[in-house]
């Protein structure tokens, strides 16, 4: 039987492997890191003495592909969330907090209700959302939004975290696509979810276990240095131990990050163009055990959006308060210790109102033990110019396909996009119609 060699064990590579093994294909997967997961992984942090994720990841119920993947690996119930479309927010500028409560159906009744909508927004601002849904390829998010509270308190923070790009540069068409698949379908498509324990426990380890049960060869700590050509096809992989020649029916899925794919494919596909501008994401994990003590909507959602400071999202996890700052290139020069102190002050301001007076000592004024993770190339910059550099899965070599969140998925760099790219790559190799490739047989 021929083998599909998958290079890269992130969520795109794992999704491709699941889809291919579901069709009975033999798979060998090569991952350079010590474990699979790539940019969505958990690890034991010695400094904090606990397990953390490299960064907080939020999913929406609209992420169909992710939920089908979770069903296939039996991990849907490892996610937690409020169970309804509720998003608590805190504005540090005037110390107000509120919750956005989307109505469940398609008609946005929530905009008419002061207790559900963004404080200070006007109905006229909704025209900015309509503009975003219809945006052309060169428009930016800022060019579509109408100035006002809806932009400042919802759409700008949302677009920064969805696109990982500032609104002045972010592609309105990409944001519009995400909105069409979520907000425009109503609140039922916008229920937030995230892993209760960790990214690896939810998305990676059960997938690797299932792949092994299906007979896949999974090699971690195995960096593929290059692909070698043979008669217009990929003929061999350069592995740490030497060349692995491909059999005549074998094929290759390159499921690498954009920044490494050109090096690995340099000999077989020298003309390959991929996104080449990136944005970082900063995560700060603080040791603080408040999950059982918080009240109100923060207890329900376990996360809150934050405006008017450096912090963008705070997640309340077992033993950890964890902060995400997206589009963080502008923070590259800021000293880690100073950022940790500034962000801790913000976290206290956000979380203290949800703690009873007796529990407030759980958040001391002094910054607790913490870990700062800067993912320097977290995603490609989702600008109109970078969008034009995203290639399709199929390449001119009949036995080589591409996968990864940076390929032309039509979505920004997200888990949903990465998994769709894995399905698309598997579909090309199986000559299957889009939509007919699945994670389970």
Ligand X SMILES: Cc1cc2nc3c(=O)[nH]c(=O)nc-3n(C[C@H](O)[C@H](O)[C@H](O)COP(=O)(O)OP(=O)(O)OC[C@H]3O[C@@H](n4cnc5c(N)ncnc54)[C@H](O)[C@@H]3O)c2cc1C
Q: Does 128 bind ligand X (CB under 6 A)?
A: no
Q: Does 204 bind ligand X (CB under 6 A)?
A: no
Which residue number, 13 or 309, has a Cβ lying nearer to ligand X?
13
Which residue number, 202 or 379, has a Cβ lying nearer to ligand X?
379
In DSSP terms, 217 is beta-bridged to 28
CA atoms within 13 A on the CB side of 96: 8
In DSSP terms, 345 is beta-bridged to none
Which one of residues 62, 253, 256, 424 is an interface residue with ligand X (CB under 6 A)? 256
Shortest distance (Å) from residue 364 CB to ligand X? 27
Rounded Cα–Cα distance for residues 14 and 26 (Å): 14
Shortest distance (Å) from residue 115 CB to ligand X? 27
- Residue 172: phi and psi, rounded to 5, are -70, -30
Q: Residue 370 in 3-state DSSP? A: strand
Q: Does 175 bind ligand X (CB under 6 A)?
A: no
Shortest distance (Å) from residue 298 CB to ligand X? 18
Which one of residues 5, 39, 317, 390 is an interface residue with ligand X (CB under 6 A)? 39
Burial 241-265 (b: 16+ CB within 10 A, else e): eeebebeeebbbbbbbbbebbeebb
- How far is Cα of residue 337 from the mean position of the Cα atoms in its chain? 26
Residue 70 exposed, middle or buried by CB count within 10 Å (0-12, 13-18, 19+): buried
# of chain residues touching ligand X (CB under 6 A): 37
Which one of residues 88, 170, 404, 427 is an interface residue with ligand X (CB under 6 A)? 404
Site string for ligand X, 370-399 (x = CB under 6 A): -----x--xx--------------------
Q: Does 9 bind ligand X (CB under 6 A)?
A: yes
Which one of residues 8, 88, 195, 391 is an interface residue with ligand X (CB under 6 A)? 8
Two tokens at 26?
């033999």
Q: Does 13 bind ligand X (CB under 6 A)?
A: yes
Which one of residues 146, 180, 223, 299 is an interface residue with ligand X (CB under 6 A)? 223
Shortest distance (Å) from residue 413 CB to ligand X? 4
Please answer whether residues 351 and 90 qualify as being in contact, where contact means their C-beta atoms are separated by less than 8 angstroms.
Answer: no
Shortest distance (Å) from residue 422 CB to ligand X? 7
Q: Does 205 bind ligand X (CB under 6 A)?
A: no
Between vectors from CA 33 to CA 20 and to CA 162, what angle results, nearest 5°? 75
Shortest distance (Å) from residue 430 CB to ligand X? 19
Q: Strands 278-287 and 251-254: what pairing?
A: unpaired
- How far is Cα of residue 435 from the mean position of the Cα atoms in its chain? 22
Which residue number, 118 or 323, has a Cβ lying nearer to ligand X?
323
C-alpha closest to that of 379 among 10, 3, 63: 10
Burial 329-339 (b: 16+ CB within 10 A, else e): beeeeeeeeeb
- Residue 226: phi and psi, rounded to 5, are -165, 165
Name the one range near ligand X by CB under 6 A: 37-45, 114-122, 175-183, 301-309. 37-45
Which 266-295 residues touch ligand X, going by CB under 6 A?
A: 281, 283
Rounded Cα–Cα distance for residues 75 and 190 (Å): 20
Please answer whether residues 353 and 97 qualify as being in contact, where contact means their C-beta atoms are separated by less than 8 angstroms.
Answer: yes
Greatest CA separation for the chain = 73
Name the one range near ligand X by CB under 6 A: 94-102, 125-133, 206-214, 410-418. 410-418
Q: Does 426 bind ligand X (CB under 6 A)?
A: no
Q: Does 20 bind ligand X (CB under 6 A)?
A: no
Q: Does 45 bind ligand X (CB under 6 A)?
A: no
Which residue number, 320 or 363, has a Cβ lying nearer to ligand X?
320
Q: Does 405 bind ligand X (CB under 6 A)?
A: yes
Shortest distance (Å) from residue 361 CB to ligand X? 31
Using CB under 6 A as the criterion, which residues of the chain lie in contact with ligand X when the complex forms?
7-13, 30-33, 38-40, 54-55, 57-58, 223-224, 255-257, 260, 264, 281, 283, 375, 378-379, 404-405, 413-416, 418
């Amino acid at each position: 039987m021929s083998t599909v060699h998958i290079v890269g064990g992130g969520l795109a590579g794992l999704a491709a492997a699941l889809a291919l093994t579901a069709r009975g294909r033999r798979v060998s997967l090569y991952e350079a890191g010590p474990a699979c997961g790539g940019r969505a992984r958990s690890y034991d942090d010695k400094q904090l003495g606990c397990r953390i994720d490299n960064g907080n990841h939020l999913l929406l119920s609209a992420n169909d592909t992710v939920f089908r993947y979770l069903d296939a690996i039996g991990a849907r119930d490892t996610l937690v969330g409020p169970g309804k479309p509720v998003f608590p927010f805190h504005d540090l500028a005037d110390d107000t907090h509120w919750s956005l409560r989307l109505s469940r159906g398609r008609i946005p009744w929530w905009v008419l209700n002061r207790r559900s909508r963004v404080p200070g927004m006007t109905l006229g601002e909704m025209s900015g959302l309509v503009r975003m849904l219809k945006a052309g390829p060169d428009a930016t998010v800022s060019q579509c939004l109408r100035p006002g509270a809806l932009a400042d308190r919802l759409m700008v923070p949302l677009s920064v975290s969805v696109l990982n790009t500032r609104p002045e540069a972010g592609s309105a068409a990409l944001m519009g696509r995400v909105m069409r698949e979520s907000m425009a379908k109503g609140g039922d498509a916008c229920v937030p979810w995230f892993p209760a324990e960790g990214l690896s426990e939810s998305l990676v380890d059960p997938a690797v276990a299932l792949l092994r049960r299906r007979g896949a060869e999974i090699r971690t700590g195995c960096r593929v240095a290059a692909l070698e050509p043979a008669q217009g096809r990929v003929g061999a992989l350069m592995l740490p131990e030497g060349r692995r020649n491909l059999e005549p029916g074998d094929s290759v899925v390159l499921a690498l990050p954009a920044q490494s794919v050109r090096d690995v494919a340099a000999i077989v596909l020298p003309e390959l163009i991929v996104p080449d501008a990136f944005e970082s994401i900063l995560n700060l994990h603080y040791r603080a055990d408040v999950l059982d003590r918080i009240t109100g909507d923060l207890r329900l959602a376990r996360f809150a959006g934050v405006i008017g400071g450096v912090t963008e999202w705070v997640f309340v996890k077992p033993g950890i308060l964890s902060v995400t700052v997206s589009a963080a290139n502008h923070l590259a020069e800021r000293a880690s210790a100073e950022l940790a102190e500034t962000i801790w002050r913000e976290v206290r301001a956000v979380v203290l109102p949800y703690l009873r007076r007796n529990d407030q000592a759980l958040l001391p004024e002094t910054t607790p033990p913490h870990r700062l993770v800067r993912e320097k190339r977290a995603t490609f910059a989702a600008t109109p110019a970078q969008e034009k550099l995203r290639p399709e899965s199929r390449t001119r070599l009949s036995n080589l396909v591409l996968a990864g969140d940076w390929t032309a998925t039509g979505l920004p760099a997200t888990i949903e996009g990465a998994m769709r790219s894995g399905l698309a790559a598997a579909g090309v190799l199986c000559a299957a119609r889009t939509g007919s490739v699945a994670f389970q047989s």
